[in-house]
Amino acid sequence: MSGWLSVRAIAIVALLLALVLLPVHVELGGSRFLLTLFTRIIILALAAVSLNLILGYGGMMSFGHAAYLGIGGYAVGILAHEGVFTGFIQWPVALAASALFALVIGALSLRTRGVYFIMITLAFAQMAYYVVAGLARYGGDDGLTIYKRSQFIAPIDLSNKVQFYYICLALLFGSMYLVRRIVNSRFGLAIQGARSNDTRMRAIGFPTYRYKLVCFVIAGTLCGLSGALIANHTDFVSPAMMYWTRSGDLIIMVVLGGMGSTFGPLVGAVALLVLEEVLSSITEYWQIILGPLLLLVVLFARGGIDGLLGKVRHG
């Protein structure tokens, strides 16, 4: 691995420090908006971390990852709408529902590979989108307002913005650690082996289908957690949060940051969402810049930001 003083290591430590100290800056008179923006970034980074597990390490090009954001979010939203406010029920239900969806979708999609897999995950996520948009009782297309955030025991209060920020950050770090542990375990090595050569892995006796399915379900569950956080962050869930362009955003974060690296998804999420903020403050038509920029990244900076930082060290 890279040395402690490489450009990449310094950049990442600086980013982590900045994230940890951001609420302090805001308390000392910084803009409140920063706290909201970065809470959102951290939650979406958590989703990107989960996608990185299957996309970066497992080579499974899921284009339907936003579905779990929606399912996790709607689990919280629907339970709150029905009068169940305790997070000890809401969150486990959010995770379980995402895991179940991932299990069904994964079991079907993993029978195929390559471009079929991309299209099928996309189609199933879009199905979930239409189903949710058709739930007239829960707002349908217009979405569902959540009047009360998830309730936990006394010291934990999600309505406190600073506390909520740190809870999200802790969950993000926790999931990054979890993914790292998974990837370096025997299970994770088998998954990575299946990415490089599925046939060979099967030939030496690994049931890769089951391994990949378990990996797919873990990623979906983690992303469901991210969805439950978003619902609490915006106090609102709508079908738009699981629209397929959101899945595209998540893929961009992973690729932009650097696929198959621990910090890549976080770097990518920060880079993409900050870039969006900056561009949209310059022009109303900011996507006209972002689109071609993406194409350029794909064509010329394949390793993402993580790859670029790695190159600086060598050069």
Scanning 87-95, 179-187, 227-235, 287-295 for contacts with another protein by CB under 8 A, the matching segment is 287-295
Q: Rounded to whole angstroms, how far apart are CA atoms 157 and 166?
A: 11
Q: Min. distance of Cβ 246 from another protein in angstroms?
A: 12
Tell me: does residue 252 bind another protein (CB under 8 A). Answer: yes
Q: Which stretch binds another protein (CB under 8 A): 69-77, 169-177, 217-225, 248-256?
A: 248-256
For another protein, the closer CB: 37 or 297? 297
State whether residue 237 is helix, strand or coil. Answer: strand
Which residues 121-160 are close enough to bind another protein by CB under 8 A?
Answer: 122-124, 126-127, 130-132, 134-137
Two tokens, residue 6: 């490489």
Residue span binding another protein (CB under 8 A) among the ranges 176-184, 225-233, 247-255, 261-269: 247-255
| Residue 142 DSSP symbol | G
**Choice from 7, 15, 84, 297 touching another protein (CB under 8 A):** 297
Rounded distance between C-alpha atoms, residue 165 and residue 50, angstroms: 19
For another protein, the closer CB: 123 or 214: 123
Least distance CB 133 / another protein (angstroms): 8
Q: How far apart are CA 103 and CA 90, in angstroms?
A: 20
Based on the shown chain and the rule CB under 8 A, indicate whether residue 281 belongs to the binding site for another protein. no
CB 109 within 8 A of CB 41: no
248 binds another protein (CB under 8 A): yes
Contacts from 251-255 at CB under 8 Å and sequence distance 24+?
Answer: 251/51, 251/55, 251/63, 251/65, 252/294, 253/44, 253/45, 253/48, 253/51, 254/48, 254/51, 254/52, 254/55, 254/56, 255/297, 255/298, 255/304
CB count within 10 Å of CB 166 equals 16
Q: Looking at residues 82 to 121 of the shown chain, list those that interact with another protein (rule: CB under 8 A).
A: 108-109, 111-112, 114-116, 118-120
Q: Candidates 1, 245, 282, 315: give the one binding another protein (CB under 8 A).
A: 245
Shortest Å, Cβ 99 to another protein = 19
Contacts with another protein by CB under 8 A: the residue count is: 45
Q: Which two tokens stand for residue 140?
A: 């349908």
Q: Report how far apart the first and last C-alpha atoms of the chain are (Å, whole number).
A: 16
Closest CA to 100 of 73, 71, 80: 71
Q: At closest approach, how far in Å is the CB of 285 from another protein?
A: 5
197 touches another protein by CB under 8 A: no
Specify the residue, 235 or 276, whose C-beta has the smaller distance to another protein. Answer: 276
Asked if residue 269 lies in contact with residue 41, where contact means CB atoms within 8 angstroms, the answer is yes
What is the H or E stretch that residue 145 is in? strand 144-145
Q: How far is the CB of 290 from another protein (least distance, A)?
A: 6
- Residues of this chain that interact with another protein (CB under 8 A) are 55, 61, 63, 108-109, 111-112, 114-116, 118-120, 122-124, 126-127, 130-132, 134-137, 244-245, 248, 251-252, 255, 285-288, 290-295, 297-299, 302
